[in-house]
Amino acid sequence: MNTIVEQGRHVHANGIDIYYREQGEGPPLLLLHGGLVSSSLRWAGVPVSYASHLDTLAARFRVITPDTRGCARTAHTGNDTISFALLADDVAALIEALELERPLIAGFSEGAITATVLGLRAPESVSAIVNQAGHDFFNPQAPSFQIMRQLFGGSTDSTRTDPDAVERFFSQSQRMRAMFELMQQDQDEAQGTGYWRTYVELAFERTTRWPGYAFADLGKIEVPALILCGDRDEFCSVEEAITAYRALPKGELAILADTGHVITPAAIEAMVEFLERHVSP
């Protein structure tokens, strides 16, 4: 097992010590990772992580990449369910703790859901939002919930996590197995051997159930928001992306051709172009 030396730090916010990394100068950009990955540079080369794109983003922004509550180096204290509302409140508290003045915020997949929920719960805290591949959760009937129950619980009607089913799911191919082993290393190095099982258990509750915010609620988001979606995303449909875009008062929409549920250079280019137009004065 290769140990990655991380050079981040912790800050106390919302009752926990949030781990974050920072890179670059310029307007602050909070970058929220998706599920199963973290802010660690070990994820470089994995297409569902921002790690391969940090240099590009840091050339334009002060990029701040936290580990979300219960993931890797940000421990979850207490027994409360880690909801998307709680994750959004963590980010709001992080913004305050770091004394950021209405930063930009972007997220992929799970991170995109959190960024958007933050826009609903604390609209004054950020100046612009990028939601890449996280608009599906605002549809109470989204197929994504069944997909996540299959992934984390072993069947589409599961009601609890089955970590062994997670391992079986990721053993279907060499590429998927490599991602699973990377996740194991990431979580276990941060919080102890076997913690990866706790991590997937914590993730089950929020990823298999509608978070309580619908497309109609997006009308309450007061800042510019970009819905960014691949036309071949197996979780987020283009139709849902259009619905989300139309609900946003200051919405923009970008559909990436021949793109699935991944972060590509084209996605980063579209994100940067949007963010640079909406930096808080």
CB 279 within 8 A of CB 100: no
At 280 the pLDDT is 73
How far apart are alpha carbons 128 and 136 in whole angstroms? 19
Residue ranges of alpha helices (H) inside the chain are 54-58, 84-97, 110-121, 144-153, 163-169, 174-191, 195-207, 238-247, 265-277
Domain ranges of the chain: 9-140+213-277, 143-209
Neighbours of 11 (CB within 10 A): 14
At 7 the pLDDT is 76
User: What's the average pLDDT block by block, 10 residues per block, for the chain (281 residues)?
Assistant: 64 98 96 97 97 97 98 92 97 98 98 98 96 98 95 93 94 93 97 97 95 97 97 97 98 98 98 94 70
Fold of 9-140+213-277: Rossmann fold (3.40.50)
How far apart are alpha carbons 113 and 118 in whole angstroms? 9
Q: What is the CA radius of gyration of the chain?
A: 17
pLDDT digits (tens, 9 = 90+) for 166-194: 999 999 999 999 999 999 999 999 999 99
